[in-house]
Every structure is written in structure tokens, then in C-alpha cells.
Amino acid sequence: PLSPRVPPPTLSATCRSRIAPPLGRELAKRRTPMLARSRTLLRPVASHARRPLCTGGKVSPMKTGTELYMSLYPEASSDSGLRLGNITPDFACETTHGHWSSFHAWKKDKWAILFSHPADFTPVCTTEIGRLALKYDELTDLDCLVATLSVDPVKSHEEWLEDVVAHCENEIEVKFPIIGDADRSISTAYGMIDPATSGEQELPLTIRAVFIINPENKLMLSLNYPACVGRNMDEIVRCVKALQLSYQKSIATPANWPNNHADIPLGDGRTTSFKGSVFLLPTVSDEEAAAHYPGYHTCDVPSKKAYLRLVTEEQVKTAPTN
């Protein structure tokens, strides 16, 4: 096996991925046909001591809020699976925007979406990239980077993009990079394909995956769709907004946010003043809740447990961030 000190091989359309040691050893042991042909150099992720949250991400200053809530999620899994709260695998790769030496360096201190599609020159993927391109400027305004990926080489991406632009009913420009993962190392590290069987497949479809990653490189949300169902880009943008708001303000968004709590009981009557309101995170202490969100509303429920603590849109807007 190659020593970690050996310089990495020259890359063409292949990518090398730094992944956890158990998975790296398993891949080397199985050596599927495609992986055996690949010159990919697998390297372990360095161990991550728990670290303070990134100040560049406007983190909530509440000690019992985002900081405590995020500490409940392990930064690494015990079985090499990628789960919420884990540090995402870093990798180097070739993209339609050129070579990247490190995915983590590319997204440094920013939110990012890693958006995989099963294959170039397929119908649903063609519409998805077009619709994502229409949302790109809105995501950029949220300071959220976007990168897409499939197991096709970069040259295939570049040729296929002509079809994407031509087919979209709106005039679009695809401004985000598309990663070429021809050796399947990134797709394997992120759990999008099975390392034991993908080498035997003529068309190794990655799932339609969406990974939303925070400024500390932690996985905050993942969505998995089959190849036959296209994704809703409005929902992806909504998820980014909800995650950023939670991160910055120590809150949790209810179902159907921001179209929620349009009419709720209050005292002897009802009120519409909580439309679009959000909950305080369960970890937030009553003391910090009162200090940062004075006058927050606790919903009355039969259990009499004070866990439904609502704050209005206006209260959220004025709450401090670092």
C-alpha cells in the first residue's frame, strides 16, 4: 500500500478522497474492478477533537443553544457511516471549474451543498441541474456554495451541460462546479454507492443525494432520492434557510415553516400573530430564553409541559448573534 508520505498520483478525471481508516481498509481489501484500476490514494481523516463553532458562521451566542445542541451529535461515527453531525470526508478532485486540492478548503468557513446526480445524459438529472441553476443566485445570497457530482468524468459533464441549458424552459447559466468522480471514491465515502457492488455495474447510479454542510464541515442535513424521482429545489433552499436560522438563533423550525402557526389559541381567544414563528431549541435554558427572547410564548397543552416555546419572526430578527 502507498505510504501517506508518497506524493499523490497525477489526476485526470479521478478524485482522491480522505476517508476514515476502517472504510479505507475495507475498500482496499475488496478491490472492485473499477477501484482496482483507479490510481486513487485513500487517506484517513485526521482525528477531530471537539472544537469551537466557527465565528464566520454567525453562531448564536447562547451557551445552551446551538453550541450545546451541536455537541449532542458525534463528529465521527463508530462504523464509518456518514451521519448527521459528522465531519464530512475531505477530498481532492477534478471539476468543471478546474482542480480542487481540498473540498474543505474550497468551502472554508461557509455553508455548502453537495448535490449528486445519478448520471449525465439522463432525463431527470437534466431537469434538476437546470432548476438548481435557477436557484443558484438565491443560494449565493445566503452565502451558501453549491457543487454537484456524478460518477461521470468532467469531459462528459461539459458536453452534457449544453443539453441542460438547451432543455431548460428558462434562460439559465450553470455557474456552479460539477465534480467528476469517475473512480467513485467520493460517492463511496459519502455512502452514495456500495463499494462491493458498484464496480460490477455497467451504470453505477449514485442516489440523488443532497448534503448540506455547515461552516465547520459538519453534515447538517441529507436527502436521498431514487433515480426515478426528481428533487424540489424550493425545498432545498427552504432547508438551507432553516438550518442557518437555527445555527444563528438557537431555534428550531416547525413543520411547514414558514407557513405555520397561522392561527393558534391564546388566552380566551385565538391569534394570528405567530404565523411563521419558530421554537426555541429544547436545550435552551429558561434563563437564556428569557434573556435573548423576552416575552416568548409557551403553548398550553394537556400535558402542561412547557416545551413548546414559540418566538415570533420579529423576535428572531432582533435576537443577537456573534
Q: Which residues are catalytic?
A: 125
Of 11, 7, 14, nearest to 186 (Cα)? 14
> Alpha-carbon distance 308 to 296, whole Å?
10
Which of the 8 DSSP states describes residue 218? B
> Alpha-carbon distance 188 to 233, whole Å?
24
Which of the 8 DSSP states describes residue 43? B
Rg of the Cα atoms in the chain: 22
Kind and range of the H or E run holding 212: strand 208-213
- Check if the beta carbon of residue 132 is closer than 8 Å to that of residue 172: no
**Residue 31 pairs with which residues in a beta bridge?**
none
- Check if the beta carbon of residue 130 is closer than 8 Å to that of residue 230: no
Q: Is the dihedral of CA 280, 73, 257, 254 positive or negative?
A: negative
> Alpha-carbon distance 264 to 275, whole Å?
9
> Alpha-carbon distance 300 to 262, whole Å?
16
Please name the residues in contact with 60: beta carbons below 8 A apart, sequence gap of 6 or more: 66, 67, 247, 248, 249, 250, 319, 321, 322
Which of the 8 DSSP states describes residue 53? P
